[in-house]
Every structure is written in structure tokens, then in C-alpha cells.
Structure 1
Amino acid sequence: MRLAKICYSALAASLMLTACKKEKEEATTEKVPGFDVSSLDSTGKACDDFDTYANGGWKKKNPIPGTESRWGAFGILDKENKEVRLRSIIEEISNKKDRKNRSEEQQIADYYQSFLDTATIEKRGLTPLKPYLDKINEVKSLKDLSSVTGELQKVGVSNVIGFGVEGDLRNSKINALYQGQSGLSLGEKSYYERTDSSTVKVRTEFVKHVDKMFSMATWADPNPGKTILDFETKLAKLQLTNVELRDPVKTYNKMAFKDFEKLTPDFDLKTFSDKQDVKADTVIVQNKAYLQNLNTLLKATPLATLKLYTKWQLLSRFAGYLPKNFDQEDFRFFSTVMRGTKQQRNRTERAIRSTDGLLGMPLGKLFAKKYFPEDDKKKVSEMIENVRTVYGERIDKLTWMSDSTKAKAHKKLKAFTYKIGYPDKWKDYSSIDIAPDKLFENVISASLYQNKEAVEKIGKEVDKKEWGMTPQTVNAYYNPLNNEVVFPAGILQPPFYNRDADDAINYGGIIAVIGHEFTHGFDDQGSQFDDEGNLKNWWTAADRTNFDKLTKKYIDYFSGIEALPGFKINGALTIGENVADLGGLTLAYHALEKSLKGKAEPAPIDGFNWKQRFFLGWAQVWHMNTTNEALQNQVQTDPHSPAKDRINGPLPHLKEFQTAWDCTPGSKMSLPDSSRIVIW
């Protein structure tokens, strides 16, 4: 099931990475310095551009590898986790004999082998697609199309409508069926609307890409690229922007399923749903107008165009599992053109990542057992409670919030739960049929498992123990429906958490990360959910107005930052993450300050006092080099601000930063008290 709505607020965007050649012993025992002073750029000034000052040396020493579109702390650690640690696990399993059928070891080893078996993949060509292509070619009406596209969605092929299952935003204990917009190959409607030369080039290359894919498939459809771009452009005009999608109130439209079906009288939603085994009395619709206008568009579009579009979505979905020429052309457009990645990883590296993508939790079970010390879970738990305490103190000191709303904020803060490292219970994946010589069928089997798992949840109680990330993931998230923060084992390593570093570095790193996730519970979206995870107002009207005024100022502040010529940050899209960064830094700094009360002043390290090292810790977790193409894509599609602006952006609003670095009034990294924005 595919739905463009994600209820989790994650710390970082997903990154694609290269291989690491270190030995396993280095990955597990090597001591990492708290902060490597060679990362500094001594010619820079902390008060003018803190990112350049703190990370300029690192950036010069760490150019973007050809296989990447951006390169930083997240990517390097993720590379270590996957291409050293997971690789050792996979290879160890692959060398075992007599693996039990449908055991996790058999599934991991055989899927890995199926991805590496390029001879079979080349020999089979497009044959695996034939059953689906035959059904598309046999379509003779919109009703037929609704049946075929429903069946395709069951195996992960995107179309103009998507379904998803998660907790009901207004009754978070019960899973509900959601419907949302979908079907744009370029990912976001701005790619179809902007007239700057860079975006026009992407559209031109997209047409060439589709034409080439169809030509390689020997499909004789005339002008497929232009036809598909024209259709998707019309589709994009009907869709909500990524900013509008952030509003959980406007995108929550619950209705009886029979009324939902009536929104597209010419496209049979019942058949479309039945083919996905969806059984629900109600559905939460993202945008009623989209469905009504979509019906008009589908009715007015030649059936041949709709069939062509469906063939394209099928081919694009599975391109990475098809012969080399399709795989390489898919990479050329989506990775090189759209993100500036120069070269594809080798097959072994991709096999590891593909196995992780398909069987991440079974691998995660082994990863956590081998690489996550239980002592770290206890330490992180203590850190979380420290942040909770400081957050409560910050709430009490707010001047813009009334006592009645403060009491409810405290109630929500107290109700926060957290998960650390890995799940307490593991799912059963034994129903996924994996063979060592059938890559395409393996992907289909996993997709059917995911669809079955989703539809069986509809109307059932939410499993609060379920994880939204695998243990090896270098990320963290806040889930408003569970009112929980989650920290996988993958991120609890240097530079985010370094057991050998001084407190200041760790507070600027992992504690700021923890604070970031806590603050998501009180950002523009999270603040609309109560202590039980329900979309419910707990604010007085005056307090909400005050909060909205503060966030509007912060939106305007970031909207004035130009990431690249002609590409400014979308402050409204990134407001949640920007508020979380500001909150995370604020909480972490005051938690560090609180921890030092009554103790001797920590001695400087490498010439930097603890206040300065706190901010160096913050800078090093976000250091990153990025291609211009990836930066353009991020500004248009990503709710996270570019790394440089995540480092520099919040710092002028922290008086503590100005004090730590002796920034004079008027310096670029300073703001007068009247211009500083303090939210939490």
C-alpha cells in the first residue's frame, strides 16, 4: 500500500551511501575523538559562519564520493552500519549450510543471492512483467483500469490514488484506512510548475528517460515521455502542495466507505479497493476535491494514455530489479539528473542495501544482538529523562503561554514514552517466499506480505510496541499517535553518541537529537495532538495565537535563506524540523548547564571551553557536502532544511551561542534580543 502521508517526524532525510572498507574490529573497538580539530577552518570566523568555521576542514577532506549525492555524518555512519556490519552478518549467514526453509537466515541468504544473480536477471529480461503487462493491455474501460491498478498497488506500483493504514488521528488506539494523492514520478508538484532552467531541464530529461525506457522495452507506444509528462502535469495541478499536506486537520476527512466510492463515479473505487483486499466501513480522505477533480481528469483522458501511464509506473517501480540497461537508465535519471550522483554502487553493495530494505527487521535482530551494548540503553534512558525534566522547566518559564495550557503541556510531556535500540518483540516473516534465483518474485512476495499486514490492521487495535524504523537505521523519530520518541541502535554511535567523549560534545550531539524529537511533540503539527496521541486541541485560543505568531516569524526567517541561486528554503515546509532543531539545541544546552551545577568548571579541551564544545558537537553531527542537484531537490521536496542551515539557522536565536563565542552585536551569527525567537 502506498500513501504519501507519513505520521512520523524523523530527524533526518534518508541517505544513500557507499561502501566502507574498514575491518569489523575497527568499527566496534576504535576510539573516536569527541571532536577532531582538523575539521576546523582556522580562516573562518565562528560568528560569521559557524558551519564553515567548525566544518570547513572536514568538508575539504571529505569530498562527495561519486556514488553519493550528499555526504556527511549520517551517511558515513550508515555506511559503516550497512556495508561493514550488515555485510559481515549477511556473508556469515550465506556461508552456512542446511538453512531451514522460510527461516530468516534462509530468506536473507537467498534474497542476497537472487540480487547478485545477474545472469538469471539478464536471461529473464522483462518476462517477469508479462502477466501484469497483459492485464494492462487488456483494459477496455475505466472499470477495467480500476481493477488492474488496484492489483498493481497490491505489489507496490504507484498510481493516482494511494491507501495506507495507521492509527486514527482522532482515535489513536485504533488503526484506520487512509486515502491520499499519489502518482507523480518527479515526487512533488513544484517540479511540474517551476519555470527556472534547472527544473525545466529535469522535465526535459524526464521525457528522454521515459522514451529510452520504452524503447529498450521495445514497446511501440508513440511519444511516451511527452504523453506521460503532460498527464502528470495535469495531475499535479489537482494535488495539494507539500506544505498543505502538513495540516492534519484539513487532510482529515473521515467518511463512510460507500460515500467515498461516490467521489469518483467513473473510476470504480470499490473494485480498486477489493483488489487490494481492503475491507473497511470508513476511510479518512486526504482531499475530497482531489478525488472529484481526478474523476473528471480520468474521464477526459484517452484510455490509451491511462494504459500508457500505468505501464510506465510498472516499469519504473521494478527497474532496479530488471536487466542492467533498465537499472542503469533508472539510476541515470533519478540519481544523476535529479540528485547529481555520478556513479552507481557496485552490485555487492547494492545487494546488501536491497536485502536490508526488504528484510531489515530480521537483519536488525542480528545487528542489535551483535553491536548494541545494553549499557547504552540505560545511559540513553537517563539522557531522555534529563531532557524531559529540562523541558518541564522550560515550559514553566514561558511568558507567552497561560497556566492552563502549561498544565496540559506538562501532562503531554509526562505521557511521553520512548523506545531505545531495538523492538521488544519481533515480527514473523516466515510467510515471505524467497528463492535464490527469482529476484522479481521475491520482491513481489515481500510486497504482498506488506499489503496483507497493512489491511489486516484496519479496525484493529494499534500495536504500541511496533517500530517504524529498523535497529540499524541512522535516524530517530517522534510518532504523535503514540506520543513516543524512538532511537534506533544505529544512531547511538559516534558522532551522535560517543561514550568516550566529554559531556559537552555528547550534549551537543545525542542530547540535542533527543531534544529535537521531544520538540516534535510540540511543533506546528505535534502540538495539535494531545497526551493520548489524538488530534485534539488542548490550547486556549490566545495561546495558540501566540504560538502561531512565533512560528510565523520563524517561517519568515528561514524563507529568507537562499540555499542556491533561485532556490530559497521553504520556511512553511521546514517549520516542523526547524522548530525541533531550535528546541533540541535549547533543551540540550540547558540540560548540560543543569548537569554542571555544583561541580567544578570542566577544563578546556583543545583550547575550547565546554560552552564552545557544545556547539562544536552540534555542528559535527550535521556536517555535510551536497551536490547542487540534491540541494535543489531537497529545497523542493524535503521538510528538512539543508545541513548548513540546520547548523547556522537556529544559532543566532540562542544568546548562549553569542556568549560562548564572544560574538559582537551586528555579527552574522548574532541577533538583537528583540529579534530572537524563543518558542520552547
Structure 2
Amino acid sequence: MKRILLSCSALAVLSLAACGPADAPADSNANQEVAASTETAAAPVYGTFGFDVDGMDASVHAGDDFNQFANGTWLTETEIPGEFSRYGTFSILALEAEEQVQAIIDDAAAEGGETGSNSQLVGDLYASWMNADAIEAAGVAPLQPYLAEIDAVETLDDAAALFNSIHHQSPYGFAVWADPSDPTINALRLFQGGLGLGNRDYYLEDTERFQQYRDGYRNYIIRLHELAGLENGEANADAILALETRIAEAHWTREDSRDVTQTYNVMTMDELDALAPSFNFSEGAQALGLDVENLIVVQPTAIEQTSAIFAETDIDTIKAWMTFHFISDRASWLPAEFDQASFEFFGQTLRGQTEQRPRDRRGVNLVGGALGHAVGQIYVERHFPPSSKTQMEDLVNRLTVAFRGRLEQLEWMDDETREQALTKLSTFEPRIGYPEIWDTYEGLEISADDYFGNRVGMAERGWAEQLEDLANPVDPREWGWPPQIVNASYSPLQNQITFPAGILQAPFFDPNADPALNFGGIGGVIGHEIGHGFDDNGRRYDSEGRLRDWWTEETNSRFEARSSVLAEQYDGFCPIDGMCVSGRLSMGENIGDLGGLQMAYTAWRQYVDEVYGGEAPVIDGLTGDQRFFLGWAQVWRNLYTDDALRAQLVQGPHSPPQYRINGVVRNLDAWYDAFGVTEEHELYLPPEQRVRIW
């Protein structure tokens, strides 16, 4: 699969479980050398030993607010740049990667290269985006052939024919992914869709701020009508918003949509046609080049009800809805007024940004995503030394050994389930830094002066690659992400944990830092990704990536009892009046954080015994265990606008960062010992209330 990481509105994307970053410390010998000879070692990126001591707020006791204790001064003194809705460690690393990718793009542009070469594609795609004058000169002319197709629609059958095309808005989405019943083969999935706002909550939440979001959306629809020279903007805006509200009512919640046991529903095309007759799926599948007997319908009742809604909706409303979304989805491909209107709604109103990102920065992210592997090969050569890969492999091994030991001693798991859990752990495949094989871009045509045409071509090629995937077995060597991305992931279908080079930077991983910081930072993230294999969803897949119930009834009940207590804890975290974390929606990430930090701490203590003979040195008045927990807190320091925080709460699945710190450490006995936390402190939980899962 040579996937281009750009999507069009008609296609849904199935994402992997992801946490954010990941990284590792040096191997055991290298760490011993750092510990024994700090005077000759290179300086760490943060502070004197890898932690930003100046960012702490020592006036707050760790037991009252560990996030504030570890990061309080940084949180107080840092302002979110106007072009961001959230800003923290991930943002800082992403900005560094942007600068590095910019240099790669500039070099590619200077090199030129033969048509179809990586340098030509990279240089010309960036040039086409930066050629704002050409985009202005083209105006709305590139839209016209597609808008004419919509204008020619007379019946719902006509509309359904466009739903089942690559370019037009659809009330559902297709994607190709490994089949949970046999993850060696690819399968077609069908998802709910059709909403212009983030998810159903934006239509249904009955609060003043969410009403303001809906009012802003209505104004945005009207504005695009004005810019495109379309009539009946206000009436169409009301009709579109009413239609999407009905669709939202039919949609599954985020909580239900992440439940892998509910979302695996295999149907034949005949059964799908009977379920949703107004969408003409059999005919549409042929038009899309799909030749399948069965497919996986992720949210069947939503598809059924949406089909009924469209059957009851007048054709003019459907055409207005399709027209608006076709333009909105391509606003950044069009003259500046369209782009600005899109930013003012999606960036300012929904996310709280005050400034549009500079065009060149947006272009870097465009190319780094669309041609991520072309850029990534050079990025790895320049910025990811082999020593980092070696050190990361050592840390992953240490975390795996630590978790194996915990599994072997886990008191609530019976031997039958334990045996299969250990088998699953033994088959985990760590992928570090960069892929074994690189995506190629044969046949892709990119012009330096036709950005709209480039995007159309990339969408068509992206779908052709999905069809190619569907016709072939799963290739576990492929990466959906480019190596320069600042994130990490776990794939339950392939039982793979992936740590791209972009995240293997300080403060997540710094080969010159005190090992405690690396164990608490990237070590916790490694544990988090391993933990996804055993969270509320990941645990339902076996060692071969098959969706299968391998738990005994007794052990399953014990797991659910523990995880339900964790959900209750997070349900009580309410960063905005009237809005709280959903413990069920964020369950997988919270289990990953809790289990991951516990794994990392176990590995850290084993390292201390091995390297230091039982007790790590004190550095700047901080014990080894204190530095370990501070390492975890440092990687999650983050600021949000209020609107971005609301979005995080309703869309998840991650808890806001302060709870990824405070909500986790209060369940670990070692944290209490490290910082002298007692029942007098705000975060204190009695031992019997601390959740212990993995």
C-alpha cells in the first residue's frame, strides 16, 4: 500500500490507536557510561540532566497537583501562539521537524529531477501550493465541472451515483483495512458520515457555546455561498444544518463507535442494499471499482437510519448539501477568501486559534503528509542516527521484559488466560524510526502551477491504491505514517508498536539525559503502546491479531471490575463547567497510560538494580524515582484554548493532558513514596482505591 496521506470527503479513514510520542534511552552499556562520566558527555537538550527544572512550580506540593508541581511555571509563563489551539511538547517537536522538512523541500526544489522522481514531486507540489497567484487567477473555475455534476442531479438515485464516486460528499465513507477475522487479508469497511462539524455532539449539545458553534457553522455556509456566487445561502444553510442534525441523531456515539465487538458487522452487498436501499450500494460499488462479496459495516443502524433520512429529504436540499461540502472540503485549494473563511470557522470558532498558520508552514505539512516517505527517507538520513535506533531497541526490550514479569505475577489473571497473554506479548513487533520498505509514487503526476489539479489527482491515486490493497494480502511492512511525524501507535491487527523517528527526540528520548528521564518519558510511552494490546479493546485481539475472545469468564470479570473503577475516576475530572472526561471514551488511552507508566517504572527499577546496585544517584536534590515521574510529567505538559479543550472532551479518545499526569500517578504506590504524598494531599487515594490493572 503506497498510501498518500490526504483524504477526500467521500473516504473515511480508520486510525490506529495512538498516544502521541514515544522514545527511548541508551542501551545499558551506554547508560552506564553516561552515569559514570557525565563530564565528558554531551549536554542534554533540557536542563542539566534532561528535565526543565526552571519550568517547575515548587510552591505547589507534588501531592496536591503533580502537573502544576512539574510544569507550573512553564504553564504560567507560556502563551499559546495564535496559530495554535494547543501548544506543548508535541508542538515544539513538530515545529522542529517542520524546519527540517522545509530544508528537505528546498533542496528538492533546487535539485528538480526527472518527471516522477521524488525530488520533482516534492518540489513541484510545494511550488503549486505556494503559487497563490495562480490559485487566485484560476478562481472558482476548477469547481465548475464538479458543481455541474451536482446541478444535473434530479433524483435520489442520481445523487447516490455521486455519493459513490471519489470526489463528492457522501453520507458514509469506505476504507480498506485488515480483516479482524483474518488480519492477513484486507477487507472493505463502511462507516457513518455526512457531518460537517466534528461529531454528533456539536449538533446535539444543549449549551450556549455549542449553539454558538452551530450559529458559526450556519454563517460559514452562507459565506461560502456568497463567495461561490450561489443563490439562497440563508435558506440552504438552514436546510443543511437541519439535515445534518437529523444525521447526527442517527450517528453512533464515540463510545459505541470505538467498541470493536459492536463495530464488526459482516454483510453481503445484498444485505446492505436491504438495510439502506436509497444508497444503491451494489451499483455504487461497481462504480468505485469494488468487487467484494462481503464488507464490514461499522455502524449499521446509523447507515440504515441515514438512508431513510435521505429518502425523506427533498432533492434540492441534498444538492445544496453536496455543493456546500464540495466547496468547503476544498476551500484551501481555492482563492484566499475561501481559505480565510474556512480558517475563521474551523480554526477560530471551533478551535480558538487567532491566526492562520503561515502559508509556507502549511505547505511543509502538506508535502510532509502527501509525500511523506519521499521526504522521510532524507529526514531519517539527516536526523535519526543508528545509535538512537539501537538504544530504542534496548529500551523496548527492557519494557517488554518488565511487563512479562508483571504478567507472570498478576494475581487477578488465571493461568489459562495468562498463558495466552504471554504468547501475545511474545509476538509484539516493535517498529522503530522508519519503515523496512518505503512508499513509492509511480504514476503520480504533479504540476508546479496547478494545485487544484494536483489534489484531484492525488485523491484519485489514493483510491486506486486502496483498491490495490483490497486485491492483495496485508503487507505488515508498510507504514501509514511518515517517519518524521511526532507520534506513536499500536496496531491490534498486526500486533505492532510503531515509534517514528520524529518522536524519538528530547524530551521523550535524549541519549544525553539522565536515564530516569528516558524511562519516565519515552519508556512510559513505549509501555503505553504495549498496554494498548491489553486495554479494553486491544485485549480482544489474540496473538495473531484476530478478533477473538481468549479470556476466561472469571478473569474477564476481574478486568472489567478494575477498568470500571478507572472509568469512574476519569468521569470525575471536569476541566470545564458542565463538561467532564468520558471515562468510557478515554478508557483505552487511560489504561495505556496507567499500565504503561507502571511497566516503565518496573523497568526503571530493574535498571537501577543492574546499573546502580539498587539506588540511583541524587541529582540536583531529586532522587531517581522523582526524576522518573518528572520525566512522565514533562512530556505531557500542554496548554489548550477553551474551544480545543471542549473538542478534546467530546471527541477524545485521549484525556486532557493534566489528567494524563495527575490521573495516572495517583494510582501508583511508588509515586506516593517518591514525593511523600499522604492523605493530607489533594491527589491522595487510599491504597484500596488505587487502580491496578497491568
TM-score scaled by length of structure 1 = 0.95
8 Å Cα contact 1:279/1:455 also seen in 2: no
Aligned partner (choices 48, 69, 77) of residue 85 of structure 2: 69
Letter matched to residue 162 of structure 1: G
1:5, distance to aligned residue in structure 2 (A)? 5.9
Separation (CA, whole Å) in 1 of partners of 2:286 and 2:141: 27
Residue 48 of structure 1: aligned partner: 64
Q: TM-score, normalised by structure 2?
A: 0.93
CA displacement at 1:174 relative to structure 2: 0.4
**Percentage of matched positions with identical amino acids:** 34
| Structure 1 counterpart SS, 2:666 | helix
CA distance in 2, matches of 1:429, 1:507: 38
The runs of 4+ residues in structure 1 deviating greater than 6 Å are: none
What amino acid is aligned across from residue 65 of structure 2 in structure 1?
Answer: D
| Greater relative CO, 1 or 2 (CA 8 Å, sep 6+) | 2
* 1:171 has 2:171 as partner: no
Secondary structure at 2:559 match in 1: helix
User: How many angstroms does 1:139 deviate by?
Assistant: 0.5
Answering whether residue 128 of structure 2 is matched by residue 117 of structure 1, we say no
CA distance in 2, matches of 1:217, 1:290: 32
Alignment partners' CA distance in 1, 2:109 and 2:189: 39
Q: Which deviates more from structure 2 when the two are superposed, residues 452-461 or residues 106-115?
A: 452-461
Q: 1:3 Cα shift? A: 5.4
Q: 1:145-544 alignment to 2 at 5 Å?
A: 145-151=159-165, 154-155=166-167, 157-223=168-234, 224-544=236-556
Aligned counterpart, 1:105? 119
CA distance in 2 between partners of 1:624 and 1:291 (Å):
37
Whether the 8 Å CA contact 2:399–2:599 is kept in 1: the answer is yes
Change (3 A) 1:534 1:278: same
Report the alpha carbon displacement of residue 459 of structure 1 after superposing the two structures with TM: 4.5
Q: Which deviations, in whole Å up to 9, do the C-alpha atoms of 1:551-588 show, x marking residues without a partner?
A: 11111110111021111011110000000000111000
Kept after mapping to 2: 8 A contact 1:35/1:617: yes
Q: What secondary structure is seen at the aligned counterpart in 1 of 2:176?
A: strand
| 8 A contact 1:422–1:471 mirrored in 2 | yes
Deviation of the 1:264 alpha carbon: 2.1
Coordinate RMSD, CA, aligned: 1.6
Q: 2:30 is matched with which residue? A: none
Amino acid at match of 2:56: L
- For residue 89 of structure 1, what is the aligned residue in structure 2? 104
Partner letter of residue 511 of structure 1?
G
Q: Secondary structure of 1:485's partner?
A: strand
Shift of 1:61: 3.1
Alignment gaps of 5+ in structure 1: 15-27
Q: Which residue matches 1:571?
A: 583
Distance 1:7 1:346, change over 3 A: closer
Partner of 1:607: 621
More displaced, 369-378 or 492-501? 369-378
The residue type paired with residue 57 of structure 1 is: T
Q: How has the CA–CA distance of structure 1 residues 59 and 458 changed in structure 2, closer, same or farther, with 3 Å as cutoff?
A: same
Of 428-437 and 262-271, more deviation after overlay is shown by 262-271
Partner of 2:28 in structure 1? none
Q: Secondary structure at the match of 2:224?
A: helix
In structure 2, runs of 5+ residues without a counterpart are 1-6, 23-41
Counterpart residue identity of residue 479, structure 1:
S
Shift of 1:124: 0.7
How many pairs are equivalent?
662
Structure-2 separation of matches of 1:424 and 1:247: 31
Match of 1:626 in 2: 640
Question: Judging changes above 3 Å, is the alpha-carbon distance between structure 1 residues 32 and 55 closer, same or farther for their aligned structure 2 residues?
Answer: closer
Deviation at 1:13, TM superposition (A): 9.7
Does the residue aligned with 2:609 lie in a helix, a strand or coil? coil
SS of the equivalent of 1:252 reads coil
Secondary structure of residue in 2 paired with 1:454: helix
1:642 aligns with 2:691: no
Residue 602 of structure 1, CA deviation: 2.4
Contact persistence 2:101–2:364 (CA under 8 A): yes
Shift of 1:221: 2.8
Instruction: Give, in whole Å, the separation in 2 of the partners of 1:63 and 1:234.
Output: 39
Does structure 2 conserve the Cα–Cα contact (< 8 Å) formed by 1:238 and 1:293?
Answer: yes
Between the aligned partners of 1:540 and 1:532, the Cα distance in structure 2 is 18
| Residue 105 of structure 1: how far off its partner (Å) | 0.5
Question: Where does residue 18 of structure 1 map in the other structure?
Answer: none
C-alpha distance in 2 between matches for 1:316 and 1:159: 14
Structure 2 residue identity aligned to 1:652: R
1:549 to 555, 561, 568: 561
Distance 2:331 2:233 in 1: 21
The offset of 1:369, in angstroms, is: 1.4
Which residue of structure 2 aligns with residue 19 of structure 1? none
Matches of 1:50 and 1:187 in 2, distance apart?
32
Amino acid at match of 1:47: G
Q: 1:658 aligns with which of 672, 687, 691?
A: 672
Name the amino acid aligned to 2:55. Answer: S
Q: Distance in 1 between matches of 2:574 and 2:389?
A: 40
- Comparing 246-255 with 73-82, which one deviates more in the overlay? 246-255
Change in 2 beyond 3 A, CA 1:3/1:392: farther
Does the CA-based 8 Å contact 1:121-1:323 persist in structure 2? yes
Residue identity opposite 2:230 in structure 1: W
**Deviation for aligned residue 1:509:** 0.3
Q: In structure 2, what is the equivalent of residue 588 of structure 1?
A: 600
CA contact (8 A) 1:280 1:459 kept: no
Amino acid at match of 1:253: N
Which of 149, 161, 170 does residue 135 from structure 1 map onto? Answer: 149
Task: Work out whether residues 504 and 613 of structure 1, in 8 Å CA contact, stay in contact via their aligned partners in 2.
Answer: yes
1:133 offset after TM fit, Å? 0.3
Counterpart AA for 2:84: E
